[in-house]
Chains A and B, each alone.
Chain A
Amino acid sequence: MVSAESWLRWIPLLPLLGAVLHVAVGYRVGRRATGVLACSVVGVSFLLALRAFSALVSAPEGAVLADDVYRWIAVAGFNIDVRLVLDSLSVVMCLVITGVGFLIHVYSTGYMAHDDDYARFFAYLNLFTSAMLVLVMADNLVLMFVGWEGVGLCSYLLIGFWYTDTAKASAGKKAFVVNRVGDAAFVLGTFLLFWALAPGASELGASDLGASSLRFADINAAAPGLSPGLVTAAALLLFVGATGKSAQIPLFVWLPDAMAGPTPVSALIHAATMVTAGVYMVARLNGLFEAAPAAMTVIAWVGAITALMAATVGVVQNDIKKVLAYSTVSQLGYMFMALGVGAFGAAVFHVMTHAFFKGLLFLGAGSVIHALHEEQDIREMGGLRAKTPVTWATFAVATLAIAGVPGLAGFFSKDAILAATFAGGHYGLWLIGLAGAALTAFYMTRLLRLVFFDSFRGDRERGEQAHESPRSMTIPLIVLAVLSVAGGYLGVPHALGGHDALGSFLAPSVSSAAHAGHALQLSMAVEWLLMLVSTTVVLGSMGFAWKLYAAGPDADVVVRGALGRAWQWMASAWRVDEAYERLLVRPIGRGAGFLWKSVDLGLIDRFADGVAMTAGVLAETWRRWNSGSVQHYALSLLAGALALVAAVLLGGGG
């Protein structure tokens, strides 16, 4: 079942090699060579991932490709290996990462064409791709953590890519630090599992490749046998890690700020790939999470509430990238809702379709920003349909896809999530999901209309100079637009006469009963009814937004009036950032200052200086009395000798 394939390592190694080369020679070889190198390493990785995919498709169900690279850490009889595995779950992720990644690399050669730091940009982008691949190909938690922190590092570097702007640099740091909070929880969850599994690991049966600790397969297999409290704690700790990386409540605050990075970065890292790492991790550890029903409930509700909360914020944003950022937070919420109800396959399906249409939306936004010379405020846009036809058309496809219009990718994946939620009897979650879908349809229609329709409202000169982007940028848009439609047909539900090909492919990797189970429990009629309801809601919401925003941005006033006080909360993203600032950041800063000035300098040092001074005075007295030149040291020696004698006398007696 496990076949050793030592070429797997090249999938993450090639982009790493690319990054190293950019650093080493990037400044000498020129832009063209840099761009070609950057794209081709990712392209070849994609081809290798395809090769693995085809091998897995033709192999018997449950097949796994593995590559034992080397033993990384070995202490006291436990080992952490650098071992890469591809099963149906990780190969899908690999294809998304390298496929969408390749398109975004190509797009970036156009988008960053005039940037001074071309090589540095691609070094980071390649490095990111490599780290992300390690994350999904790792066969154990610790190696996954290498990728996990690695992508966080690249995210930090890329958000602050234009570092001369301190606000951008700060956004990068914020992303890293908030993620570190999650990472700390991730590591603690790892420790908990490690010690829980350590004594009983031998019972799991040594695998053919030499068992090593913290392998996903071992954890999933052992989880049902562990104490429920422990499993729940471990699952929740790991989930806190996921809320960091995947921008869920309470750690989502970094993602909107992360939009400071170049737009291709937002597309690749902060929409298509890195932010789905948390979803992937939970799906990877489905056996563990299934064994912790309480944790699953938490995940489902955190996901649902995040989906709704972020969607409300998306309604009132005016920065094109901020709308998309909150939309991403919201869509990730859907994925977690799916995970929480045990629909791992549906979650991964949505990861994939979301990578297509959200990647496309960001790239489209980048194209618009490019066309308008860095304008990001949608109130200053409008009527770009004529000037940027390809961008418009593809953006429109993505909008329909994310909104969940029947026939496009988002419809199928979102429907799969909602159906699974309903089938599991989680009607409350289903209703929240539906409300979120309505809001999504609303803010996306608003965005589409304000950017591309009616007449241009911004600076006239800018409007006249607006132009379609070069082909290096539009071709990736077109490819992604095709995928935003076609991608959905990988998971057509049985109710619509499909076979849910992706679902069955993934099933062995996310083999929980829930995945296959719930979907089948719904009768055809109910499933049709659910689709009808959600489609009606989505289309209604889109129609409403379309009509409302015929009035242009002024319609915001209507929305604001209708929302009343809630508008303030939505506009400030429910004041979560503010709360952190007031309750954590500032008190910690003040506390640190107090510790330094008052405790370190004021208390400890004063005490020490006082002791030294007393000693000095004593020594001086001693010196005079002795009329010799006795120094501190001698005094101390004497004291020491006395103490010694005393100790010997006392100790000798005892």
Chain B
Amino acid sequence: MDQQLLSLLIAVPLVGAALVALAGPGAVRSMRAIALTASLAVFAVALRIAALFDSSTGEFQFTEQAAWIPQMGVTWSLGLDGISLLLVLLTVFLTPLVVLNSASSIDKRQKGYLVNVLLLESAMLGTLVATDVLVFYVFWELMLVPMFLLIGIWGGRRRVYASMKFVLFTMVGSLPMLVALVWLGLAHAGATGTPSYAMTDLYDLELTRSAQAWCFAAMALSFAIKVPMWPLHTWLPDAHVEAPTGGSVILAGVLLKMGTYGFLRLAMPICPDVLGAAMPIIGALAVVGIIYGALVAMVQPDMKKLVAYSSVSHLGFVMLGLSSLNVVGVEGAVYQMISHGISTGALFLLVGVLYERRHTRLIADFGGLWRQVPLYAFFLLVVTLSSIGLPGLNGFVGEFLILLGTFKASPVLAILASSGVVLGAVYMLWMFQRVMFGEVDKAENREISDLNRRELVILVPLLALIVLMGVYPRPFLETMEASVELTLERAGITPVETAPAEVSR
């Protein structure tokens, strides 16, 4: 069994989806029970993987290989390193919460919803553990379909526009990427005589600088849209506003990280020679995104849109960390990916709680809620503080390491980006103030009830991780360190140059 854990990881949600689909109509509770069991089973598989994981090496572990399209050299290759492990854990952690949340947030076609969530989980996990670029691509595209349906069917009023926009933006990016990936396999054939799409083979490929430039551009476009980097971000606010709560949680929690993950997994190690030229540009765009996202978040009247733009800003930090090309900045970036998944997932869930009670997300419709819902207020406060990077909570560690790494690479970018830290406090605290503080001046808000037990079951684990990742980040950092170092080595950066080696020895 332990030999095929990664296939199992992908298969269990599929089986779960099939079982949910087979459930009789109307048996909503049992469907949800099946989906929950399936997602918890995936969680258990992931924990098993984590327990067996060896963090001393950055190479792919739990590797599996089977022929798929031998004529083209495509193999069903799976594997995982510390970076993908953390993202896998994030995915399997959030999915059960989304399943649980569907009980209150979804009021039609429960079965379809649950099936889609599980299909999406499978596709995300597949993307994360694929070590053949075409397998990666297939899963990458497969993620689109359930997400498209989640927004398009269970979304809000403008769901059709939002889901189309989501798909079109993403498609624009993924086609050039496909071209680049196929070309890479052929280039491998040109160099060695046999075509191969295995990532490890492509890492070793000697490509001309211009070929790397083209490949990098093609992949970067696709990944940058997914992140999303400024100015390719405008699909995100619409997608978030229209998506159901669970869709937003997955979208912000995991899907966006597929973009940053793509940079780390493919674009950077395959095209090392152009990073010196490309990463400063990416870093600059990231800083624009940080500040731009924060400013626009500040003036949003809708809570979900505010959180969406805050994601543009936070993912800007992730990209900035990657652009630093040193261990400190990149580890910070990976940390921030996980941390943002937790915090923003929690934020969307909390916004959803209010939406379910009041059927509005406009900040102006609230005010003075603290006295009404003190427990909710407590959770929202902690998550808000996590989002603005208060030391002691999860957001700080990533942000600090990113800025520290960036400072080495480019002090100017670090200085500019640090303004995002100030603006982050402005928009989050202002939102918190307008929702929670003041008098309850609207009669409807007097009826709002505090968190119920199911909501607590969903939120408490998130809160626990927010604190844990802030107070004791070392296990997470240790898990990724060797992998980040190897990735950077593949990207042509030797750790000696970047790490403040020998400091502590």
- The interface of chain A, by Cβ under 8 A from chain B, is 23, 70-79, 142, 145-146, 149-150, 153, 156, 160, 163-166, 169-170, 173, 176-177, 180-181, 183-184, 187-188, 191-192, 194-195, 198-199, 201-202, 206, 210-213, 588-589, 591-593, 595-596, 600-601, 604-605, 608, 612, 615, 633, 636-637, 639-640, 643-644, 647-648, 651-652, 654
Contact = CB atoms under 8 A, between A and B. Distances in A.
Interface string B159-194: 000001100110100011011101100110010000
B49 interface: no
A589 B504 contact: no
B437 A166 contact: yes
Given A71-B474, A146-B392, A166-B437, A184 B183 contact: no
B211 A79 contact: no
A595 B474 contact: no
Interface stretch (B126-134, B344-352, B413-421): B413-421
Interface in B349-388: 368, 370-371, 378, 385
Contact of B214 (A142, A202, A604, A651): A651
A199 B169 CA distance: 45
B339 to A, nearest CB: 13
Contacts of B426: 173, 177
Contact of B473 (A73, A76, A643): A73
Nearest to A646: B179
Interface string B273-304: 00000000000000000001001101110000
A28 B493 CA distance: 58
A184 B418 contact: yes
Given A149-B391, A164-B439, A213-B503, A23 B430 contact: no
A78 B499 CA distance: 8
Interface in B393-410: 397, 400-401, 403-404, 407-408
A68 to B, nearest CB: 14
Interface residues of B, number: 81
B400 A142 contact: yes
Contacts of A73: 397, 400-401, 473-474, 477
A593 B427 CA distance: 13
Contact of A194 (B397, B404, B472): B404
A592 B503 contact: no
A439 B312 CA distance: 51
A173 B474 contact: no
A271 B419 CA distance: 28
B504 A176 contact: no
A76 B329 CA distance: 11
Contact of B391 (A146, A213, A589): A146
A184 B422 contact: yes
A654 B299 contact: no
A431 B231 CA distance: 56
A71 B401 CA distance: 16
B503 A78 contact: yes
A75 B391 contact: no
28 contacts: A70-B472, A72-B471, A73-B400, A77-B500, A77-B504, A78-B499, A78-B503, A149-B391, A153-B385, A163-B438, A164-B368, A164-B439, A176-B429, A177-B429, A187-B400, A188-B407, A191-B403, A194-B500, A201-B503, A212-B504, A595-B295, A601-B234, A605-B234, A608-B165, A612-B164, A637-B175, A639-B175, A643-B176
Given A643-B176, A647-B183, A654 B331 contact: no
B391 A643 contact: no
B227 interface: no
Nearest to A116: B371
B88 interface: no
Contacts of B235: 608
Contacts of A199: 500
B492 interface: no
B5 interface: no
Interface in B429-446: 429-430, 433, 436-439
Nearest to A593: B299
B407 A75 contact: no
B298 to A, nearest CB: 5
B421 A180 contact: yes
B502 A77 contact: yes
Nearest to A81: B504
Sorted nearest first, the 6 A-B pairs with minimum C-beta distance are A198-B500, A76-B499, A191-B407, A169-B437, A592-B295, A76-B327
B489 interface: no
Contacts of B485: 76
Contact of A596 (B190, B299, B400, B500): B299
Contact of B186 (A77, A78, A612, A648): A648
A72 B478 CA distance: 12
Of A74, A188, A600, most buried by chain B (CB within 10 Å of CB) is A600
B179 A640 contact: yes
Of A23, A77, A146, most buried by chain B (CB within 10 Å of CB) is A77
B391 A74 contact: no
B395 to A, nearest CB: 11
A279 B168 CA distance: 56
Given A72-B472, A77-B504, 18 more contacts: A73-B400, A73-B401, A76-B331, A76-B500, A77-B500, A77-B501, A78-B500, A79-B504, A150-B391, A163-B436, A177-B429, A187-B400, A194-B407, A198-B503, A202-B503, A643-B176, A644-B178, A647-B179
A77 B481 CA distance: 10
B3 interface: no
Nearest to B295: A592
A70 B485 CA distance: 25
A537 to B, nearest CB: 41
B156 interface: no
A23 B382 CA distance: 13
Contact of B371 (A156, A160, A164, A191): A164
Given A604-B231, A648-B183, A77 B499 contact: yes
A584 to B, nearest CB: 11
B208 interface: yes
Given A75-B327, A142-B400, A173-B433, A191 B299 contact: no
A72 B473 contact: yes
B271 to A, nearest CB: 13
B179 to A, nearest CB: 5
A213 B502 CA distance: 11
B205 interface: no
Nearest to B368: A164
